[in-house]
Amino acid sequence: METPAKHAPRTLDDRAVRLFIALAAFFCVNAVLAEFIGVKIFALEDTLGVAPFEWNLFGQKGSLSFTAGTLLWPVVFVMTDTVNEFFGRRGVRFISWVAVALIGYGFLFAFAAISLAPAGWWVTAAQAQGVPDYQAAFSAIFGQGMWTIAGSIVAFLVGQLIDISVFHHIRRRTGEKHVWLRATGSTAVSQLVDSFVVIWIAFVLGPQHWPTSLFLAVSSVNYAYKMLAAVAMIPLLYLMRHAIRAYLGHEREAQLREEAARD
């Protein structure tokens, strides 16, 4: 009598595979959301309920203003560094390209939705809330200009590729020590490029033709915020590392990190 063959373990039973799917999904949804909510500019002082700082930078004065998308980018940084740590260059490149495809896909269908003829009653449905034309508001919010979209996608992809290279360069020099250094170091370089490239393409090359002083001031403020947020997120990076080790087990976790370092 033949002994029944043991069933091979299913791919989705592998905790490393589940982990990668979860990290990739959270990374992508945050990247896409950051692009769509980034159309809103908020005043930091007013949001915090404090007096305006009246900053003066490159000749520009006023309250500190940021895009709403900056709220989510620190989460993207943590996801990028975590995937880099356990799944290496190939893992981050893969999820970065997927995120770019999803961002493009989202904007494509946003423009498709804008082009649909609105129902007559819907256009005036929010007048009581101070929105006289719902179609115009919808178009303004979701119909970000092509320059903004192009700037966002190019800056995101270039920033991610730079982040990967710097992260692994630091890792080769420090080994498995100093997780905080490769995380913040890679973010410092990649976001320096990202913060300036996106605004330069969207608002300097684009139809608004911002003056150099405004471009430098807004880019610098957004970069400073991203760096402060990245430093503040360091404890979360270590917490995630310990949680992943507990989830995978020490042996599997060490195997993944070794593979990532060779990648």
Q: Which two tokens stand for residue 236?
A: 């979360």
What dihedral do alpha carbons 213, 214, 220, 222 form, nearest 10°?
180
Calculate mean pLDDT across residues 109-126: 91
Rg over alpha carbons for the chain, rounded to the nearest Å, is 22
Q: Is 12 helix (H, G, I), strand (E, B) or coil?
A: helix
Instruction: Give the model confidence (pLDDT) of 187-242 as tens digits.
Output: 788 878 877 887 787 777 766 677 888 888 888 888 888 888 888 888 888 888 88
Buried b or exposed e, range 157-184, using 16+ CB within 10 angstroms:
bebbbbbbebbbebbeeeeeeebeebbb
Most confident of 39-43, 67-71, 119-123, 253-257: 119-123
Calculate mean pLDDT across residues 93-112: 90
Q: How confident is the model at residue 145 (pLDDT cuts 50, 70, 90)?
A: low
Average pLDDT, the chain: 82
Q: How confident is the model at residue 2 (pLDDT cuts 50, 70, 90)?
A: low
Calculate mean pLDDT across residues 125-129: 89
Angle, helices 212-232/234-248, rounded to nearest 10 degrees: 50
What pLDDT sits at residue 118?
A: 92
Measure the CA–CA gap between 60 and 57, rounded to whole angstroms: 5
pTM of the model: 0.81
Residue 119 has pLDDT above 90, yes or no: yes
Q: Using CA of residue 105, residue 111, residue 117, residue 123, what is the dihedral sign?
A: positive
Residues with Cβ within 8 Å of 64's Cβ and at least 6 positions away in sequence, in order, are 43, 44, 45, 53, 55, 221
What pLDDT sits at residue 43?
A: 81
